[in-house]
Amino acid sequence: MNSADTEIVKSLLRKEHNLVESPDEADLVFLNTCSVRDNAERKIHERIIHLRQYRRNRKNMFVGILGCMAERLRERLVGERDMVRLVVGPDEYRKLPELIEEAARENKSGIAVELSTVETYEDIEPLRTDGISAFISIMRGCNNFCSYCVVPYTRGRERSRTAQTVIDETARLVAQGFREISLLGQNVNSYKSSDGFDFPELLVRLAENHPEIRFRFTTSHPKDFGEKLIDAMASHANICKHLHLPVQSGSSRLLELMNRRYTAEQYIAKIDLLRSKIPNIALSTDIIAGYPGETEDDHRATLELMKTVKYDGAFMFKYSPREGTKSYKIGDTVSDEEKIRRLNEIIDLQQNIAFEKNQLEIGKIHSVMVENVSRRSEADWKGRTDTNKKVVFPVPADMAIAEGDVFNVKILSAGSTTLKGEMCD
């Protein structure tokens, strides 16, 4: 979401400003920030310190903080390390040109952190610079108020773009040569446009308009994920057979404390339905270790759910208290040592599951969309299956190949994160 927002910001600034790639060349550096975990914020404070060195050559260089951290910390960020002069929240990017001008002209600082109930930036064409994959934000904000999550406070309430602007933007991207489009929202399942589309309807329209393009989406909330979307995925070959469905915990008791509004049993029932209609679907998830009040039994329930679902991938983190959220008030009741132990068990289990699942891919032929040359060897290229698995395979030196090309690749070996194969007919 932040990458997509950065493209919007670049688009808003490109008319009046020269965008440069390195802080060496910059008079103003923007950091687009995330507040979802403490670690993400810590990195930004470190980055601000790091950027001070560029003042040696550019005495007037200053920093602007964008995104969720700007929204959360507001004036507390202004003046940090004598570097930060602009603090602009995710719904205020249209003010950036004016704020920059004032800051540069009058040597002032500026803050804009109002949240909006209507801003979607649907009329702004994001400035996308490279690659074959494009993001389209179809909605912003979140109404779910999971007890641990700061997003509803930093990104505001849910609002959806009109379907027509998404349909038009997709057509322009296809004409520009993009081969894969990811639709983004904090909870795409609650997309509801003023021109009458829900999310499955929008996805089907896009997939049918552009059968040669791969469509992905993220993120789905399990409580809103349903059969209509499963049917849309099952009936369109170009809607990728990968679903990210964050479970967070395998304990229904804990899920209730987290205000997730589904039980572990309901979650598993949705996975069963999904697999009955799309047997080859790949699944990924998010898991939090050590949420306040999590017992050893709750932790074991998470491990059991992982064994039942058998995810292909997972983002796994220890709980990080976020000021202003409901769970922040409860306090961080699981010790850091215990959180780390549980997290390590979760990571170990997931690696084993992913490794075992990937062994089942050996001998299968996948349609792989090429992304770029492998970092390890120039003779190898890297791409993804529609199930979002990374595949590395050799390409003959005299063969012309480009990002976005699609090849059949037979899988020859597999680790827990990468498959290796060879091109075949």
Least distance in Å: CB of 146 to ligand SF4? 3
15: exposed, middle or buried (C-beta count within 10 Å: 0-12, 13-18, 19+)? exposed
Closer to ligand SF4 at the Cβ: 35 or 193?
35
Tokens linked to 254:
């804990």
Least distance in Å: CB of 158 to ligand SF4? 9
Closer to ligand SF4 at the Cβ: 197 or 225?
225
Least distance in Å: CB of 91 to ligand SF4? 15
Distance CA 102, CA 83 (A): 16
Give strand pairing partners of 248.
287
Least distance in Å: CB of 172 to ligand SF4? 28
Phi-psi region of 107 (alpha: psi -120 to 50; beta: other; left: phi over 0): left
Q: What is the 3-state secondary structure (H, E, C) of 212-234?
A: CCEEEEECCCCCCCCHHHHHHHH
Distance, C-alpha 93 to centroid of its chain: 20
Rg (C-alpha) for the chain, rounded Å, is 23
Distance CA 375, CA 397 (A): 16
Closer to ligand SF4 at the Cβ: 186 or 358?
186
Least distance in Å: CB of 149 to ligand SF4? 3
Closer to ligand SF4 at the Cβ: 246 or 421?
246
Apex 327 CA angle, 326 and 331, nearest 5: 130
Phi-psi region of 259 (alpha: psi -120 to 50; beta: other; left: phi over 0): left
Chain residues in the site for ligand SF4 (CB under 6 A):
142, 144-146, 149, 151-152, 186-187, 221
Closer to ligand SF4 at the Cβ: 224 or 380?
224
Contact 371, 132 (CB under 8 A): yes
**CB half-sphere exposure, 285, CA atoms < 13 A:** 23
166: exposed, middle or buried (C-beta count within 10 Å: 0-12, 13-18, 19+)? buried
Least distance in Å: CB of 286 to ligand SF4? 8
Least distance in Å: CB of 148 to ligand SF4? 7
Q: What is the DSSP letter of 316?
A: E
Least distance in Å: CB of 260 to ligand SF4? 7
Closer to ligand SF4 at the Cβ: 145 or 328?
145
Q: What is the DSSP letter of 308?
A: H
Closer to ligand SF4 at the Cβ: 145 or 351?
145
Closer to ligand SF4 at the Cβ: 343 or 409?
343
Residue 300 neighbours by CB under 8 Å, 6+ apart:
none
